[in-house]
Structure 1
């Protein structure tokens, strides 16, 4: 497995999350490692443009209405670079137009990193425009002054973002991944707060990192219909609802990420070693368990749901981690259809999936962006692959020589966007 992905998370995930040694993620941790460079590749993709934001490690990328929103990661120095916004009107020359949720513009955000941002149009009694929800995590588990939770920003004019509110999650590391949804005059942030059910327990012992009763759930639903006043609405945790402890049988059962359907009726929780948990959230105050996948790989990282809610793509961030396709037309009994691999997968891990029509796009760290034909989900096949070719060595990242580490992939019209942890934003198009 890619040494960067495997080792960067071991220290933080072992200490902060009490994971078994060897379970890792590039989302946490600050151990200095030196990955081998990847081999550049450009098969089936056309590279249109790039944008390097400079010193500071890059997180995920989100695309909305002609703009790219580029997150930032903890890196070596916890530089708290926030979200960088790029105008894609000329995709060959993406232009940075603003930065927000960063320590330079708001010193109260020092000591945080902002890897995830979701942007949606919202129409409610209290707000009409475009909102961005941004995850905040504390770079240090011992720094109790650093903010942890999420922020809500008005990005109706992406060139002039405005903070509207922040939601705090004390007793945790903060919001790891999030989703923002709006429907029927209401809006909600859905957040995954890793190990909240354990660390917020009134009986939590920081020495043994164990507890006897559950605290606040890892998955929370926060009403942002009035985005200036976030309000807790509902939550769900496997310990309280199913009796499955976060560390049951030596496994790591925590919510890593979440997606929600457009009608705000289904939530899909990537519950690490527990698989993907499917919830009915039509009543956001009372999420209801429907079923879950039971993957053999563990480390269920993220998902994408398509075909009217009947097809699930699930990724696994673990040694030689692969994506899995499921038929979820019967939520109580998800049925595995296939897995998908690409040459070199045994030396790295898949990360995030996105689907457009009959094509699935994956971010795959040193293997870059991988596109798969998935019209027949029982037999996905390779369509295209792009691995960045760069001579850049980011002082905040972990490469001693130029390297590629593609974290995120996003779709905007006919464009495919990739975020590389070392070198920033790439704008692609399928040939």
Structure 2
């Protein structure tokens, strides 16, 4: 039993350990609370299974690989992505950042081999997100990697944030193609997405606080044409002031909302639907903003999600399901006790978005963690990133590991599995038919695979 389930006493101990070792300043650095992310400590004591029901039976952890030291420095992980049998792992800020993107060969998923490092050439930065896709334009044909770059210290004269573009057609030998700079005054690009439309390729960049730090000269969301990766070109920026309901009450970061609350507003993350016709901007307390980008040179605002007066917004990330008719919105509420708001960590909301001008809330999905409010525990109990494969929603949940949710009926989401390695602090999750990947801030890359052997 112990090999399959992490006992509650061990789990609570992992929470404490994870939160004792500080990482980087929280995303919401301009808000009234400044806290730090922790990293869990790795352990080889338990090799857990993705416990659950339905289609998750038989998924086991087959590998747990720490990142290799770089120049004598041990970095910790950020997000994870997979493409054509290789895993791409971003790095966070531990020991001064500059860990770049780590490439793992997954030919043998039980023995991932770190084969390359790239995106580490800008001093004083870290690389949270990497997306890799096959791109075919008149200027580039191959596998393109887009990497978000953020400054650790904006006063460092040698650092700058933005988006690095690499040719990873040969993942063992990545080649730099270009760089898109946000603005030296802004922290950089936190999350991004790479999309294709016909013979054009685009990066959608969430450069949180760019509006604030540049006094409105740059915006938090940029749509960048990277059809020629050596010459990325900004073709559109979104300004919340263009929304009539926000225009008169927005000062570049804080919004004096109609409910009487002063709410933080910045673009944290962005992604598109499968055909890159709709962009989803996670705009914290302004909700998930939806833009029609079917004509990328002339995007149009469609609608946004909203919150009850007693809900912290904290729209962190998004995914779509059911052919783009359902929106999954994760909310990174790391300070569960705020006057005037419900006492809860971040949980997931699911919307019907057939009419994007009028999103309809179908359900709230809460794990067993979000209502267990504990003094001193911040990020450990909130939800983080979502991924959807078919009718299964995978959620990275920091110390709560990975949670799998059946969304066959989005109005009644049901947890069907959980993977909680000892002392886990899971940042990102990526799932496909061959494996499930999880990036653990303390102990590196975790690989789960389905065993065909009888239980």
TM-score by length of 2: 0.81
3-state SS of 2:264 partner: coil
Q: Distance in 2 between matches of 1:229 and 1:152?
A: 10
1:59 aligns with 2:78: yes
The match for 1:73 among 89, 92, 99 is 92
Is contact 1:83–1:99 with CA below 8 Å preserved after alignment? yes
1:305 aligns with 2:326: no
Aligned twin of 2:130: 117
For 1:88-237, what aligned pairs fall within 5 Å after superposition? 88-102=106-120, 106=121, 109-170=122-183, 171-201=185-215, 214-237=216-239
> Deviation per CA, 1:385-428, whole angstroms, max 9, x where unpaired?
11123xxxxxxxxxxxxx31000000233311000001111111
1:65 deviates by 1.0
Aligned twin of 2:348: 323
Q: Distance in 1 between matches of 2:364 and 2:156?
A: 41
1:342 deviates by 2.2
Segments ≥4 residues shifted beyond 4 Å? 1-14, 33-41
1:19 deviates by 1.0
1:371 aligns with 2:404: yes
Aligned twin of 1:387: 420
1:346 deviates by 3.3
Q: Distance in 2 between matches of 1:234 and 1:217?
A: 10
1:283 deviates by 2.2
1:268 aligns with 2:280: yes
1:198 deviates by 1.9
Task: Quickly say closer, same or farther: Cα 1:197–1:234, change in 2 above 3 A.
Answer: same
1:299 deviates by 0.8
1:37 deviates by 9.5
1:336 deviates by 0.8
Task: Quickly say closer, same or farther: Cα 1:263–1:11, change in 2 above 3 A.
Answer: closer
Q: Distance in 2 between matches of 1:194 and 1:57?
A: 22
Count of residue pairs the alignment pairs up:
391
Task: Quickly say closer, same or farther: Cα 1:359–1:34, change in 2 above 3 A.
Answer: closer
Task: Quickly say closer, same or farther: Cα 1:35–1:85, change in 2 above 3 A.
Answer: closer
3-state SS of 1:345 partner: coil
Is contact 1:64–1:412 with CA below 8 Å preserved after alignment? no
3-state SS of 1:198 partner: helix
1:430 deviates by 5.4
Q: Distance in 2 between matches of 1:8 and 1:304?
A: 29
Task: Name stretches of at least 5 consecutive residues in structure 2 with no aligned partner.
Answer: 1-11, 53-58, 69-73, 257-261, 337-344, 373-380
Q: Distance in 2 between matches of 1:331 and 1:5?
A: 39
Indicate the RMSD between aligned Cα atoms, in angstroms.
Answer: 2.4
Worse-matched range after superposition: 405-414 or 340-349:
340-349
1:264 deviates by 2.2
1:34 deviates by 8.2
3-state SS of 2:362 partner: strand
Is contact 1:13–1:19 with CA below 8 Å preserved after alignment? no
Q: Distance in 1 between matches of 2:24 and 2:117?
A: 31
3-state SS of 2:212 partner: helix
Aligned twin of 2:254: 247
Q: Distance in 2 between matches of 1:5 and 1:92?
A: 29
3-state SS of 2:78 partner: strand
1:416 aligns with 2:430: no
3-state SS of 1:92 partner: coil
Task: Quickly say closer, same or farther: Cα 1:167–1:10, change in 2 above 3 A.
Answer: closer
